Amino acid sequence: MDFPRSISLIPARGGSKGIPHKNIQLLDNKPLIAHSILDAIEATLVEQVYVSTDDFEIASVAENYNASIIERPDKLAGDTASSESALVHALNEIEKSGFQPDLIVFLQCTSPIRTGADIDKAIQKMKAERADSLLSVSPSHRFLWEEDSGQAKSINYDYRDRPRRQDMNPQYVENGSIYIFKPWVIKEFNNRLGGKISLFPMSEAAAHEIDSPLDFEIAEFLLKQQVTSHAY
């Protein structure tokens, strides 16, 4: 079976405020960004791995792990800059070089609980479903509420007829681990998602994101479980 030509894009700016230089802090004896690079390299369906960054140290670390570097302009690296702006810039730079990828695999450094096998399975699912974009998700079994004008309201169930969790329709939370899209999607919508969208269910562990020092400790524990795939 022929698969589309896929590349991985990993945005990693240097201006993290919560944890300074978060993307190169060590996680299980490797810089955080290295986990995403190595996952992409491990994926047999990804041809090339690119890191978009404005930071010299991040670029140096990424190059040591065999990623190609795309220099992100300062105006696309501030606190208010979106990941989409970095992705569009990186894609334009790649296409200027003469390479026209069919799929972009967008990996977030802060969601490192995945494997190369997960990326391959996500690409395979997207192709099988003839989708234009895909996002990875994890199951959610929570009863959700919101407050509207001072009134509490149940969102995903009727509190007057509380169901058993196992009887609820499957629901998922966006876990931030894997996004895949065709180039035209982000060019047309300025969004990582568009057209026909597929869901790629993964484990609950894959929903772990790194925003604090404690998150590093939890992620290290999860990575040491020696799981070969987090896909369902």
3-state helix vs strand vs coil in the chain, percent to 5: 35, 25, 40
Burial class (CB in 10 A: 0-12, 13-18, 19+), 143: middle
Kindly name the residue from 13, 130, 162, 164 that is annotated as catalytic: 162
Task: Tell me, yes or no, if 142 is annotated catalytic.
Answer: no
Record the tokens describing residue 118, joined without a space: 């997960």
What 3 state SS string does 89-104 have? Answer: HHHHHHHHCCCCCCEE
Measured CA to CA, the distance from residue 13 to residue 22 in angstroms comes to 10
Active site residues: 162
